[in-house]
Each structure stands twice: as structure tokens, then as C-alpha cells.
Amino acid sequence: MALFILTLVFNFCSEDHKNLTALEDMMNPEGNSTETQFQPNPVLYQNYPNPFNPSTIIEFEIPATLHVRLKVLTIEWEEVETLIDRVLSAGFYRSYFYSKDLPSGEYYYILEAGGTKLIGKMKCVK
């Protein structure tokens, strides 16, 4: 693999935050630390795998300490689950979504941070 990613998992006491991982450091193939470049605005990345069953990963980046809300909604815009609803420090984050008993279909995931709302689309296949 050309790029190795060293991750640091924050263990939260609250059940709501057990699925959140911060990506603290990126390493190049030679093992030398590289400086992380932050975007000036929040960034929401495409989930993977997509399509998924039974779980998927949603990654995003925030440029400063902000209140962040990450939700999953049906294609009819009905809320399925709030994955994150708290203040986070600047950085890269990874959230895990478990589809549980959801039927196959398309879903939206929405990141709200610092007055910005970003939307992604994903597909659950059972």
C-alpha cells in the first residue's frame, strides 16, 4: 500500500460517540511524518464502501473547533440516525454507520458545521 494512515481512536464514555475516530497523523511510505493540510471550510467525503452492507464509513474534515452534526436520512428526508452532535476540534474524523434493520435503498448523510451544510448520498444493499 502506497500510503499508510496512523489513526488514533478516541474512546468516549458516552454511547453516542463510540463510533468516532480522529485521523491524527499521516505517514508517507518512507515512514516520515508529513504535515496535514487543512481545508478552509468543512469537507465531507464520499462514504465507503458504497454500496454498503451492513456498515459504511463517513469521513469529514473541519478547519476549526466547531459544533458538528452528522445525520443519516432516508431518500424522503426522514431522519434515520444522528451519528454526531457535539463540539469537535479541528481535524479529520471518521464515523461508522451500521445499517441495522434498514431496508435496501438510497440514503443521505448530512454534515452541518460552522454554518455549512454538506450532503452525500449512499446506497444500502441487503
- Report the domain count for the chain: 1
Q: Residue 92 is part of which domain span? A: 4-124
| Model pLDDT for residues 58-87, shown as the tens digit of each residue | 999 999 999 999 999 999 999 999 999 999
Residue 21: predicted pLDDT:
46
Q: What is the pLDDT of residues 35-66, one digit of tens each?
A: 455 568 899 999 999 999 999 999 999 999 99
- CATH at residue 28: 2.60.40.1930
- The CB-based long-range contact list for 27-31 (8 Å cut-off, 24+ gap) reads 27/3, 28/3, 29/2, 29/3, 29/4, 31/4
Rounded CA-CA distance 90/96 in Å is 19
Q: Are 123 and 106 in contact (CB under 8 A)?
A: yes
Tell me if the pTM is above 0.75: no
